[in-house]
Amino acid sequence: MRVVVVGAGAWGTALANVAAEATDRETPLLGRDAGRMAEVAETRVNAERLPDIRLHPKVLPTADHDVVRDADIVLLVSPTQALRQVAAELAPLVRRDAIAVTCCKGVEQGTLELPHEVLAESLPGLRHAILSGPSFAEDVALGLPTAVTLACVEADAAARIAESLATRTFRPYWSDDVVGAALGGAAKNVLAIAAGAVAGRGLGLSAVAAMVARGFAELARLGLVLGARPETLAGLSGLGDLVLTTSSTKSRNFSLGLALGRGEPRPNKLAEGAATVEALIGLAAEHGVDMPISSAVADVLAERVSVGAAVANLLARPLRAEV
């Protein structure tokens, strides 16, 4: 299977290394900026996005979209809000029997669609899958053990993608619960901002743990209404990724929350939770699901309320049964 990676950010670069190792085949890494991709090809390091990691010798950095013509598997690794546009650019080039795998985490603004729903519209007729789970790009690129969820409604396609990505240290588990995998990845980014804000404000680890557990409760409420399986929500792409990103300053979403809690300037890095939060609570509202922590994150990001006031508001909610 020939894998092509579209999106030369931190995660795309790490996944290109994984695919090149797993398939032992030339693996194009397609970026937008020809000059930058030429530099990555020359230096064999993506200095801007994943410094200190050498590209696998079989990774081919390029800005030439034609490389997707030969792809059996296309990994789409742009930010969620750019997915529709990136996929539309590929649509005339990609083979109809190829499998498109979204590796981004979020909900599209405006449409309130999860990444696989965006793909179904922008690359119609192709089989689609989702790669999600607890996986920092740097950890994966360093060859540290990582397990992820690979969700596809067609089990044979999921198994084929898994084989094209599995290495001695990168372990995809497959699933047919596409909604569960997509929702977990989208919501955990928002909840990581909440956990970071609580930590940054110095409210203690008990408060962070409460945010994680009650955050998971609202993620699961929405997931079940959307048809996700509880096992997926409690698995790698749900609880697993939530635990990772609410406990590490390596997470850009957690780091954004830390800055908010400390009253510091927001870091200038991609934080998918900030781009997704309004769409996530919009999706929840459409289905009559209450997501108070996510709503508090939206209010804080929009500067409608301070972190302290948001926490006080959550604590002042009427007492209720836990489940």
Ligand X SMILES: NC(=O)C1=CN([C@@H]2O[C@H](COP(=O)(O)OP(=O)(O)OC[C@H]3O[C@@H](n4cnc5c(N)ncnc54)[C@H](O)[C@@H]3O)[C@@H](O)[C@H]2O)C=CC1
Binding of residue 40 to ligand X (CB under 6 A): no
Q: Which positions from 88 to 127 touch ligand X by CB under 6 A, shown as an x/- string?
A: ---------------xxxx---------------------
Choosing from 188, 190, 193, 242, the catalytic residue is 188
Contacting residue, 252, 283, 294, 300, with ligand 13P by CB under 6 A: 252
The residue (of 146 and 295) whose beta carbon lies closer to ligand X is 146
Tell me: is residue 186 an annotated ligand-binding position.
Answer: no
**Out of 251, 276, 294, 295, the residue judged to bind ligand 13P by CB under 6 A:** 251
Interface region with ligand 13P, contact rule CB under 6 A, candidates 30-38, 238-246, 260-268, 275-283: 238-246
Residue 241 partner contact from ligand 13P, ligand X, none using kind-dependent CB cut-offs of 5 to 8 Å = ligand 13P
Residue pair 150/175 in contact (Cβ under 8 Å)? The answer is yes
Write the secondary structure of the chain as one string of H (helix), E (strand) and C (coil).
CCEEEECCCHHHHHHHHHHHHHHCCCEEEECCCHHHHHHHHHHCECCCCCCCCECCCCEEEECCHHHHHHCCEEEECCCHHHHHHHHHHHCCCCCCCCEEEECCCCCCCCCCCCHHHHHHHHCCCCEEEEEECCCCHHHHHCCCCEEEEEECCCHHHHHHHHHHHCCCCEEEEEECCHHHHHHHHHHHHHHHHHHHHHHHCCCCHHHHHHHHHHHHHHHHHHHHHHCCCHHHHCCHHHHHHHHHHCCCCCCHHHHHHHHHHHCCCCCCCCCHHHHHHHHHHHHHHHCCCCCHHHHHHHHHHCCCCCHHHHHHHHHCCCCCCCC
Site size with ligand X, rule: CB under 6 A:
25
> By CB under 6 A, what part of segment 133-152 binds ligand 13P?
134-136
Determine if 191 is a binding residue for ligand X (CB under 6 A).
Answer: no
Active site residue 58: no
Q: Which is nearer to ligand X, 19 or 270 (CB)?
A: 270
What does 12 bind: ligand 13P, ligand X, none (CB cut-off 5 to 8 Å by kind)? ligand X
Asked whether residue 105 is marked as a ligand-binding residue, the answer is yes
Contacts with ligand X in 270-289 (CB under 6 A)?
Answer: 270, 272
Write the binding mask 75 to 114 for ligand 13P: x where contact by CB under 6 A, - elsewhere: ------------------------------x---------
Phi, psi at residue 30, to the nearest 5°? -95, 120
Residues 255-274 close enough to bind ligand 13P by CB under 6 A: 272
The footprint of ligand X (CB under 6 A) covers: 7-12, 31-32, 49, 77-80, 82, 85-86, 103-106, 135-137, 270, 272
Active site residues: 188
